[in-house]
């Protein structure tokens, strides 16, 4: 095989779901614009319409290509009731042969393979095809710390955390409380547990780890990962904080009725309510949320989906109405009573554009890391409403460590958050002194993120180090390819 030396060609692999696709696309864009890499992004499980919508801001180029891998049928390979994470992992595993075939026929062979969290089973392709390999963690460094450390603990430590419900002590990092811990750790030896531990062990086998965070945001955790006397004895390989990886907003903004409505609202007067690309609520919780928004008397935009009982990821892959067209899972007459106060948007809204709009003064969020970083870079304070994955960890970080959010006294996944508390939370973040203090803090972090991404900033320099390290390592691959 010929090893290219003139331009580094990076192959990126994205897992199913917008939350995984967006940071991979944004990383690909930065590899092209900042490092002059050639980039080919391989996408698993994306609907053509979804992929097309995400690529609208990406100019077509001979050095930036996106390839959809053939769909895989996992119906006979995984329990239909398995978690969404388990299904994604199986989809990624079954896509490895197609990835190998697609890479093999590329005219300019990739020299670097970058996979996201659920693509680590593709890492051996790098050795097979004479490439370097990296893992992209689309979430934060604290999540990475828990993911890589948990598989190394002994039985006593595991029992203390999972059975006795004590915090998971991670060297040099904030402990993870049991109520915040990752779902994958909770049922020992079930399929998700086994798969996730495998991932945690495979990540440090790569040539490096790219993390969607920045130095000022998680300095303590990142330092621990670099210290061989602390967490660095587990991670062992270079850590590159390159975030935040967020969607760029077109200027001028796209035409959309939601944005037109925002143009007519006072500055920082609207709270945006969204549970991400897959999050869902129960019917009772949706009713309470509707009443809470109405009682708060604050302007709102609510991205809404039909309720799903006992499944907070019910809309990940993809109803009657009252007399005024209010869906029957909302209070009767809700749309009429709030016609001047807010907007209810079915299924999807242009979140990046909404959060950038000066009329938006807060977000009620599921705390997915994409939404979190988009809120921070736009200076928007948060009400946290974690649903699944690492979102409870994110909510704790945002409220207790970073100070850019408030949260319910209850865990939304375990009990109903009632309308009066929702009213209080919304008013606190939008019009009361607590919200003003948080707004000031998040605007400080906005400046920190902008500085990190600017030329000479910490994330900019970290990504440049990726290129420098690739160049050095590729010299060894060239020598090996020529039999040296």
> Residues 374-400: what's their mean pLDDT?
96
Q: How far apart are CA 77 and CA 154, in angstroms?
A: 31
How far, in Å, are 98, 104, 171, 237, 361 from residue 13 at the CA level?
Answer: 12, 15, 31, 20, 35
Quick one: which of 167, 176, 173, 175 has its CA closest to 220?
173
**Architecture of the structural domain at 9-242+454-481:** 3-Layer(aba) Sandwich (3.40)
From the CB of residue 207, how many other CB atoms can be counted at a distance below 10 Å? 20
Is residue 383 a contact partner of residue 407, using CB atoms and an 8 Å limit? yes
The token pair that represents 456 in the structure block: 């000479």
Higher pLDDT, 40 or 58: 40
> Residues 22-50: what's their mean pLDDT?
91
Higher pLDDT, 40 or 323: 40
Longest dimension (CA), the chain: 78
Has 161 been annotated as catalytic?
Answer: no
Q: Where are the domains of the chain?
A: 9-242+454-481, 257-448
Q: How far apart are CA 170 and CA 177, in angstroms?
A: 11
Tell me the pLDDT band of 48, cut-offs 50, 70 and 90: confident
> Residues 30-40: what's their mean pLDDT?
95
How far, in Å, are 149, 159, 188, 193, 323 from residue 175 at the CA level?
Answer: 11, 15, 20, 20, 51
Burial (CB < 10 A; 0-12, 13-18, 19+), residue 383, is buried
Range scoring the smallest mean pLDDT among 117-131, 193-207, 245-259, 264-278: 245-259
Name every residue whose Cβ is closer than 8 Å to that of residue 334 and which is 6 or more positions away in sequence: 290, 294, 326, 344
φ/ψ of 379, rounded to 5, equals 65, 35
Instruction: Write down the pLDDT at residue 387.
Output: 93
Has 357 been annotated as catalytic?
Answer: no
Q: Which of 73, 79, 116, 357 is catalytic?
A: 116
CATH fold label, 257-448: Rossmann fold (3.40.50)
Whether 9-242+454-481 shares its CATH topology with 257-448 is answered yes
Instruction: Write down the pLDDT at residue 6.
Output: 65
Tell me the pLDDT band of 45, cut-offs 50, 70 and 90: confident
Is residue 149 a contact partner of residue 235, using CB atoms and an 8 Å limit? no
Segments of 44-172 assigned E as strands: 64-68, 112-116, 132-137
Residue 280 has pLDDT above 70, yes or no: yes
The token pair that represents 305 in the structure block: 């989906």
Percent of the chain at pLDDT > 70 equals: 91
User: What pTM does this model have?
Assistant: 0.93
Name every residue whose Cβ is closer than 8 Å to that of residue 139 and which is 6 or more positions away in sequence: 117, 212, 369, 390, 394
- Taking only the tens place, the pLDDT of each residue in 327-363 is 778 899 999 999 999 999 998 899 999 999 999 999 9
Phi-psi label, residue 194: left if phi above 0, alpha if psi -120 to 50, beta otherwise: alpha
Instruction: Write down the pLDDT at residue 325.
Output: 61
């Amino acid at each position: 095989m010929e090893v290219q030396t003139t331009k580094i060609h990076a192959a990126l692999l994205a897992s199913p779901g917008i939350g995984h696709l967006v940071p991979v696309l944004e990383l690909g864009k930065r590899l092209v614009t900042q490092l002059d890499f050639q980039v080919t992004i391989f996408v698993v499980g994306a609907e053509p319409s979804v992929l097309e919508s995400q690529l609208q801001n990406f100019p077509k180029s001979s050095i930036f290509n996106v390839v959809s891998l053939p769909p895989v049928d996992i119906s006979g390979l995984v329990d239909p009731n398995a978690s969404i994470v388990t299904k994604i992992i199986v989809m990624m595993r079954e896509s490895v042969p197609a990835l190998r075939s697609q890479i093999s026929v590329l005219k300019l062979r990739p020299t670097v393979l970058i996979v996201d969290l659920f693509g680590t089973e593709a890492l051996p392709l790098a050795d097979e095809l004479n490439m370097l390999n990296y893992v992209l963690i689309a979430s934060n460094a604290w999540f990475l710390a828990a993911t890589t450390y948990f598989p190394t603990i002994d039985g006593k430590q595991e029992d203390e955390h999972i059975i006795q419900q004590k915090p998971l002590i991670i060297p040099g990092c904030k402990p993870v409380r049991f109520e915040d811990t990752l779902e994958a750790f909770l049922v020992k030896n079930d399929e998700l547990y086994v798969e996730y531990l495998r991932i945690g062990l495979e990540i440090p086998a790569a040539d490096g780890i790219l993390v969607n965070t920045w130095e000022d945001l998680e300095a303590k955790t990142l330092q621990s990962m670099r210290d061989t006397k602390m967490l660095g004895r587990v991670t062992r390989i270079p850590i590159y904080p390159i975030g935040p990886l967020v969607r760029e907003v077109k200027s001028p903004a796209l035409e959309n009725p939601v944005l037109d409505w925002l143009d007519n609202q006072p500055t920082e007067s609207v709270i945006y309510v969204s549970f991400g690309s897959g999050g869902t609520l129960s019917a009772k919780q949706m009713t309470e949320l509707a009443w809470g928004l109405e009682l708060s008397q604050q302007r709102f935009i609510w991205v809404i989906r039909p309720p799903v009982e006992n499944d907070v990821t019910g809309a990940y892959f993809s109803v009657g109405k009252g007399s005024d067209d209010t869906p029957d899972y909302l209070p009767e007459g809700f749309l009429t009573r709030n016609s001047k106060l807010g907007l209810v948007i079915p299924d999807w809204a242009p979140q990046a554009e909404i959060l950038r709009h000066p009329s938006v003064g807060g977000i009620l969020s599921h705390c997915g890391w994409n939404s979190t970083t988009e809120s921070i870079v736009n200076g928007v304070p948060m009400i946290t409403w974690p649903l699944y994955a690492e979102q409870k960890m994110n909510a704790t970080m945002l409220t207790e460590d970073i100070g850019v959010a408030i949260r319910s006294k209850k865990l939304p996944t375990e009990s109903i958050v009632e309308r009066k508390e929702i009213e209080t939370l919304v008013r606190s973040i939008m019009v009361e002194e607590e919200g003003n203090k948080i707004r000031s803090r998040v605007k400080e972090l906005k400046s920190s993120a902008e500085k990190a991404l600017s030329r000479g900033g910490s994330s900019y320099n970290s990504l440049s180090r990726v290129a420098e390290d690739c160049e050095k390592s590729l010299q060894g691959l060239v020598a090996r390819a020529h039999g040296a």
